[in-house]
Structure 1
C-alpha cells in the first residue's frame, strides 16, 4: 500500500509540473498586458520601465522558473487589474465557488444515487420512468438555457427567489459564507440547482445501470438465499458493488464543477472564481489567469489521487496489482 501511495504521489508531482509549464507558456505567449498596465500615451521610457518591473523583458523560460519559485512559496504575483496579490484575490472568491460547487455536487449525489438505484431495482414502475425522463432532460438541455428559464420563472415571473448575487453572508473563521444565512440560501438555491442538474442526471443513470447489472450477480443471490431483507441487500451489497464507479464520477465531477462553474456564475452574477476568470481574460490579467488554471490543474490531480486512494480502500486488490 505504501508503494502504491508513493507511486501515485510521484506521478502527481510530475503531471503538476508539466501542466504548470503548459499553462504558463500558453497564457504568457498570448497578448500584451502592457496595454492594460499603462496608458497608451505613455512614453517609451515608461513602457520600458514597466516591462522591466514585471519581468516581461526576460526570456519565457526565465519568467517560468521565476514564477515557479514564487509559487512554491505561495506567491502567484500581483493582479494587473486589481493591484493586490493574486493569492489574496483568489482566496476572497474561492468560498463562493466552493460552497456553490459542494452544494450542487453533494445534492446531486445524495438525491441521484438513491433514485437511480430505485430505477434499477424497479425499472418497470412509473416513478422509475419519470426519474429516467428527468435524467434525459438533465443531459439534453444546455446549462445556460436552464439557468435563464429558472431566473424567468422563479425570479421574474413568480418573484420567489432572487435572480443573482450572493446575498447576506456570515463570517466564520475569517471567511464569508452565504449558506449560513437564510438570505444566502435563497440566493444560492437557483444557481446550485442549475449547476447540479447535469450531475444529477449522470448519477441517476450510473446508479441505475450498476444496480441492474448487480441485481443478477451471485453476491445478491447468495444474500437473498441467506434471508437478508431487500433493504439490506441494496444498502450493504449492491451499493458497495457500485461504489467504485460512483466514486470515480463523483471525484471527476467535483473537480470539473469547481473548475468550470463559469457559465452558472456568470448567469447568476455569483461572485466566484468562474466570474473572476472571465473578467481576467477580458482584461488580459495574466497572473490571475495563470493562477486560476494552475489551481484548477492541482484540484484535478489532487482529486484523481484521492480517487485512486479510495479505490485501494474499497478494493485492496487494486493497490496490490498496481504497486
Structure 2
C-alpha cells in the first residue's frame, strides 16, 4: 500500500461515522473481551517549543495503532485548536498502515465515551441527572453528547471562565433537549448528581466538601502528576475509580497530590473501569461520593479508531 492510497478520515468523517453511543460500546466491548489496560504501554511526552508532543501506541487482537498528539496552549490566541494530531491505524499481524484518522477528532470522541462508560455504571438510572459541567471547549460539548447517550439529563449547569463560551454551551445543551441548561458557579456542585470536569485547570475547580453523598464526579482534564481538577477533600472522602491503576499512579495528579500530602495511600483506589464493565454491578450510590479519574489511554484510541474504520469500510 502506497502512502497516496492510505485512506484518510478527517474530523468530519470521524464525527459522522461513529455516534457517541457506538464509541461507548466499542470501549465496553474490548474490555468484555479481556483487554487488560494495566499492560497498555505508557504515554511518551516530549516537550517542544510550542507545547508538548504525545506518543500513544497500542496493540490488541488484529489491530495496532499509534496516536501522535500535539498540545499547544498558545493556539487559543491564534484561533486554533489546543489539541492537534493524527492517528495511524495498523494491521495487527503485519503492522502495515490501514488508515489515517484526525487525532483531535478521535480524542474528542473517545474521552467523553470513556466518561460515559464509567457514568453508566456509577450512576443510578432511575431518574434524570442534574449535571454540573466545568469547561466550555470541545471536550465539554463532547461530554454533553456522550452523557445523553447513556443517561437522561434533568439539567446542565455550565461553569466556565469565559461567560460567552459557557452560555454557548448551555444553549447547545438546550438544543439537544436538556430541559434546563444555564451557566453557574462552582458552588452549584452542592446540588449535583453528577459533576464533570473537562478543563485545562491545574488547581482544584471547587470545594470537594460541597459534593453531596452519592454524587458522582468525573475528572478528565489532566494527565500530569502536578495538575488536578479536584481537591484533596473530595478524593479523601470518595470511592475512587480509574481506567488502570498503573496509569493513575503514574499520571493522575488528582490522586498523586493527595497521596504526597499523606491524605491517602495507593490502596485508596476502589477499582477500575474494567472492574465496572465486567463486574456484577454496583449498588445505588450511598453515603460517599464516587470519583472517576481519567487520564486517557492508548487502548481507548485504538478501540474507537477501529470502530470508526469499520464504519467507514462497511
What TM-score bracket applies, with the shorter chain setting the length? under 0.3
Bigger share in helix: 1
When Rg is computed on C-alpha atoms for both structures, the one with the higher figure is 1
| Structure 1 length-normalised TM | 0.25
Bigger share in strand: 2
